[in-house]
Amino acid sequence: MEELAAQDSPVHRLHPLAKLLVAVGYILAVMSFPKYALTGLFAMLLYPLALFQLSGIRVSTCFYKLRVILPLVCAVGVANPFLDRAVALRVGTVAVPGGVISMLTLMLKGVLALMASFLLVATTRMDSLCASLRRLRVPGVLVTLLLLTYRYVGVLVDEVSAMSQAYALRAPGQRGLHISAWGSFLGQLLLRSMDRAQELYSAMLLRGFHDHFHYVAIPPFRRDSAVYMATSAAFIALARGVDLPRLLGGLFVR
């Protein structure tokens, strides 16, 4: 993610605060759609697609990086078709229950929110993001916590990878981790991660760390960032207020 964020593109060059505010506004707007407003949500796809295009980051990269979390997000509404069986729509002779539509709406909301978050982190360095949060007067403790969590995720992933490899090498022909090893695996993972985290923290303390980071200086707010904010806000407001796909569809279908 750091490497993606270090690339250069018109989106990368935008002010981090502008990107942060637009992303938050976008996610709030997406979340505020009613549960059956599936068509309206499709218009919100335009924002991430435009950013993918402008930033030079592939959509496939996004889905690859989010491959672990996406199924969880999509699973959020799976019970809806069973709970809400009232017919909400007929496609030809097929009756579509409201639960199916609300499930799809929830899935799409999750995917859109994840895409927006991904784009924010993939086009903005974490240091700059944290500096922007501090500028928004988010408490320093919370921002430091966010940055350290971001850094420590790497430690955790390293440990999981090393332990999984060691396990796989002594468990030939076995797929994944046998259930009998889950407890000790997780226990060891916790202990090893804590040891490494402690070492890292000591290394930070020894170089004068006092509970807060010195973030990189944020560049001045330029006109392109203002234009980006204004355009994005206008689009988000329009897409949230008007069901654009239905409106466009109405021009062709009675």
Residues 120, 47 contacting (CB under 8 angstroms):
no
Report whether 119 contacts 1 (CB < 8 A): no
If the CB atoms of residues 175 and 207 are measured against another protein, the closer one turns out to be 207
Pick from 158, 143, 139, 142: nearest CA to 197: 158
Q: C-beta of 2: minimal distance to another protein in Å? A: 4
**81 close to 103: Cβ distance less than 8 angstroms:** yes
The nearer residue to another protein, 214 or 223, going by C-beta atoms, is 214
Nearer to another protein, 153 or 237 (CB): 153
CB nearer another protein, residue 80 or residue 123: 123
The 3-class SS string of 144-176 reads HHHHHHHHHHHHHHHHHHHHHHHHHHCCCCCCC
Three-point CA angle 124, 131, 114, nearest 5°: 40
Q: Quote the least distance from Cβ 207 to another protein, whole Å.
A: 4
Nearest to 32 by CA among 112, 118, 117: 112
- The minimum distance between CB 206 and another protein, in angstroms, equals 5
Shortest Cβ distance from residue 131 to another protein (Å)?
12
The least CB distance from residue 240 to another protein, in Å, is 36
**Min separation Cβ 212 and another protein, Å:** 9
| Cα-trace Rg, the chain | 22
Q: Which is nearer to another protein, 179 or 217 (CB)?
A: 217
Cα 220 to Cα 232: distance, rounded to the nearest angstrom = 20
- Closer to another protein by CB, 90 or 214: give it: 214
Binding site for another protein (CB under 8 A): 2-3, 125-127, 151, 154, 158, 196, 199-200, 202-210, 214, 216-217
> What CA–CA distance (Å, rounded) separates 125 from 132?
11
Helices (H) and strands (E) in the chain, counts: 13, 2
Please identify, using beta-carbon distances, which residue of 217 and 253 lies nearer to another protein: 217
Min dist. Cβ of residue 64 to another protein (A): 18
Nearest Cα to 26, choosing from 118, 149, 126?
118
